Amino acid sequence: MKFMGDFGTEDKLKLNEELTVTGGITDNAQLSQDNNIGVEANGNKGLILRLAKELKGLDGITFGAGDTAMKIDGTQKTINNITKMTFKTSDNKDSIVVDGTNKVITGLSNTTLPTDGTPMQADQAASQGQLKQVLDKANDTDKFAVKYDKNTDGSVNKNAITLGGDTNGTVIKNVANGKVKADSKEAVNGSQLYKTNQGFDVYIKDKTTDNTFNVGLGADDKDAFGFDAGNGLEISKNGKKITYALKDDIEVGKDGEAGTDGKITVNGKDGESVTIKGKNGEIGIQGPKGDDGKSNSVTISGKDGTIGTTGKDGSSVVLNGKDGSIGIKGKDGKNK
């Protein structure tokens, strides 16, 4: 009998001679117990060994040799040493390529983020296009963010914020009213400052236009109002304390005009009065009127040293310094 493979030397055997068929594995534990090989008779005095299309019971498959060999490990469920793997569709379009050399995956269809409300898939890998969208939006947001200053070593300085406005500075809008208290550390806004810069009104005697003036605050040239001492008064300042006092020498009234007699009159509430006339040095004191409409009075005349007292009933006493006489007149009109 003759035996021949696809190649090699033809073997000729006589009856009862042994034919050895080997596969290279001598350990039965290393052999698959599944039917992975079929023998087909080709009808031409030949047998063809065929490998199953679906191999079963294999622990792994190694492609190549040495350190660069690619191995599919069924027990560990791993594939090692793949340089590039291409996943194609039936029409060979839109293939996904896993490039082990460059460590990239290309051909992903999810290149943009959903904008129609489609939920994001937590287990789906993101593409560079999607990540770029996120980074672009983050960078745009970062441009509008207010940041702390940096220290010289690059760390964050949480004690200072410098706004990068133009030469006119930066306007901060929509600032809420901050607390205006001794221990407050809150910012105040323009409306609060506006109230403090309006100043205040000062009025004398009454709030009429002529007697009222405004003291403005906040301007470069600030308004000021002063304290002046009137006639017979003096004013002094000690630190922030202002004191008014009477002068030691009091002068009442202005200097008189030539040819005009001076006169000072102080009127009381019930007809009382004190009158000083400069013409003859006369001083007159008028008492309150009684039920009869008359009042007591005292007159001192510096012209001739006369002192007169008149009662409300018509009685009077006159001391005449000129001739030393004393005149007394009773209420009945008779001298005594």
Query: How confident is the model over 247-259, as pLDDT tens digits?
Result: 887 776 666 666 6
What is the C-alpha to C-alpha distance for residues 301 and 322, in angstroms, rounded to an integer?
Answer: 11
Asked if the model's pLDDT at residue 155 lies above 90, the reply is yes
3-state secondary structure at position 26: coil
Q: Which tokens in the block code for residue 331?
A: 């209420």
Q: Which residues pair with 202 in a beta bridge?
A: 213
Q: Which one is predicted more confidently, 129 or 283?
A: 129
- Spatial separation of the C-alpha atoms in residues 177 and 90, rounded to whole Å: 68
Name the pLDDT band for 52 (thresholds 50, 70, 90).
very high
The pLDDT of residue 184: 92
pLDDT score of 53 = 93
Span 305-324, mean pLDDT? Answer: 62
Quick check: helix, strand or coil at residue 30? helix
The residue ranking higher by pLDDT, 203 or 51, is 51
Say which residue, 118 or 26, is predicted with more confidence: 26
The DSSP call for residue 152 is: T
pLDDT of residue 51: 92
Q: For residue 295, is pLDDT > 70?
A: no
- Average pLDDT of the chain, as a whole number: 79
> What is the average per-residue pLDDT within 224-240?
83
Q: φ, ψ for residue 10 (rounded to 5)?
A: -65, 135
Q: Are 150 and 159 in contact (CB under 8 A)?
A: no
Q: How confident is the model at residue 291 (pLDDT cuts 50, 70, 90)?
A: low
For 88-133, how does the pLDDT look when each residue is reduced to its tens digit (9 = 90+)? 876 667 788 888 888 887 877 777 777 777 787 776 777 778 788 8
Mean of pLDDT values over 75-91: 81
